[in-house]
Amino acid sequence: MSHLRQASTATPTSVAPGFTCGLDATLKIISGKWKPLILYFLLRGPTRYGELKRAVRDVSDKVLIQHLRELEADGVLRRNDYKEVPPRVDYTLTQLGQSLAQALEPLCTWGTENMAEMQKIFAERDSWLREKQA
């Protein structure tokens, strides 16, 4: 997200003071500009590369592919190559991926419910930050 990022570097005494919950692990996976969007979209079922690219508006090929590879490496989605020509490939959530994508739902809902408020806020956001600095 953009982002969300890595997380804690090896905590020796396991879950010592420093606040750590499962969120750390989750963030490692969904960190990437478009990853949450990709995952959430895949809830709709197997999706071809092209579809995905059109759905996740503005993502570049390079990054989309890269994200897909990483998500596959993380075991949340699977790439299916139909070995046809012209190429035909689609992506599916694994069981793990599905549960993850479902965990994103509340965020989506929240965004939808507060859409109006957010737009107001985003409009003033920059001036707000500036006047604070001044």
Among 10, 21, 62, 127, binds DNA (CB under 7 A): 62
Please list every residue from 10 through 29 that binds DNA, using CB under 7 A.
none
Among 60, 65, 69, 123, binds a second copy (CB under 8 A): 69
Return the structure tokens found at 56.
Answer: 């996740």
Among 89, 104, 108, 118, binds DNA (CB under 7 A): 89
25 binds a second copy (CB under 8 A): yes
Q: Provide Rg for the chain, Cα atoms.
A: 18
Q: How far is the CB of 128 from a second copy (least distance, A)?
A: 5
- Residue with tokens 């490939």, as numbered in its chain: 89
Three-state secondary structure call for residue 78: strand
On the 0-12 / 13-18 / 19+ scale of CB atoms within 10 A, 38 is buried
106 binds DNA (CB under 7 A): no
